[in-house]
Amino acid sequence: MNVRLTHKSGYHAIIENDKGHQVAIDNKSVENPQGASPMELLLMGVAGCSSIDIISILNKQKVAFDSLEIDVDGERVDKPAPSLFTKIHATVRLTGNVKPEKIFRAAELSFTKYCSVSLTLAATADIRFSVIVNDIPYVKA
């Protein structure tokens, strides 16, 4: 696995992986940022990693769904650098003719066993998740 950053101007840069996929980054404190901040990319990584896990688990169970969204919120240490994440909460929203307990279990497996991004960040952050299926919050019995 390899990525290369190419500086554009100011704090703006393009990062490209060895397959040619690109992501723009910038400093969120500048006016009109040209990309996500590196810390936002970490939260995007949590969402992306868990979505892949959840979809894979549901596919193996032959559970079809209509839509999947994952919102990830992060809280950071309120002090100068390094300002690490201390809390991360992901809200998994799914619609379809599905059993909520299956969705919860897929999310639980992702966040506690499979998602490399979440498990890496767990060294400094309390990572939690919630599940909403067809606009109804699911609470594990």
Closest of 131, 127, 71 to residue 101, by C-alpha: 131
User: Which amino acid would we find at residue 106?
Assistant: A
What is the structure's pLDDT at 56? 98
pTM of the model: 0.93
SS3 121: helix
For residue 93, the cross-strand partners are 69, 132
Give the residues of the chain that fall short of pLDDT 50. Answer: none
What is the structure's pLDDT at 140? 81
What is the structure's pLDDT at 79? 79
CA distance 12 to 34: 6
Domains of the chain: 1-36 (2.20.25), 38-138 (3.30.300.20)
SS3 53: helix
What is the structure's pLDDT at 78? 84
What is the structure's pLDDT at 135? 97
| Tens digits of residue pLDDT in 43-68 | 999 999 999 999 999 999 999 999 99
